[in-house]
Amino acid sequence: MSKPIEGKAGLGMTAPFVYEIRVGWAHCDPAKIVYTGNLPKFALEAIDAWWEAHLGADWFAFNVDRDVGGPFVHLSMDFRSPVTPRHVLCCEVTPIRLGESSIRFRVVGRQAGTLCFEGEFVEVFVAAEAHRKIPAPQDIRDKIEALIVKTDEPS
């Protein structure tokens, strides 16, 4: 079972959004670690949960109810340590840049405090039915702008 959890924040900081994933044996390959292809899936699941927690709707609801899609146009991941069914996978999701028609997320996956992967994921806002790029809708932009965490790294 997967679920969002909220981290603790220090003074003047926003609590990070952390999504827990119960890693199962079925996620693994013959090497007894999570199959590489499942790691981006876990990160995307965590980003979808971030949308629901912070904007009240997941990708399905945005697509169907508002005709606003968010296909991914870029993803990059670095793998640091194997993920196994031994511990819950905690995926920390942070929006790090909001462009005119795109949003960039950083996702960091940890098990029992060990860094397992980190990556960046970029989605573009589209009119879902027409699959045409659009500017981020203003109400969405207004909510996201306050949640962007600036990083020192170029994105």
Helix, strand or coil, per DSSP, at residue 61:
helix
- φ/ψ (deg, to 5) at 10: -85, -175
Task: Give the model's pLDDT for residue 98.
Answer: 98
Residues 6+ apart with CB under 8 A from 41: none
Task: Give the model's pLDDT for residue 3.
Answer: 57
Q: Give the Å distances, CA to CA, from 31 to 3, 27, 71, 85.
A: 27, 11, 32, 12
Task: Give the model's pLDDT for residue 128.
Answer: 97
Q: What is the pLDDT tens value at each position of the chain, 155 positions in all?
A: 455 555 443 334 467 999 999 999 999 999 999 999 999 999 999 999 999 999 999 999 999 999 999 999 999 999 999 999 999 999 999 999 999 999 999 999 999 999 999 999 999 999 999 999 999 999 999 999 999 998 765 55
Give the residue from 147, 101, 106, 153 showing the smallest Cα distance to 127.
101
Task: Give the model's pLDDT for residue 153.
Answer: 58
Task: Give the model's pLDDT for residue 154.
Answer: 56
Predicted TM-score (pTM) of this structure: 0.89
Domain annotation for the chain: domains and CATH numbers = 3-8+15-145 (3.10.129.10)
Give the residue from 71, 59, 115, 70 showing the smallest Cα distance to 92.
115
Distance CA 95, CA 71 (A): 16
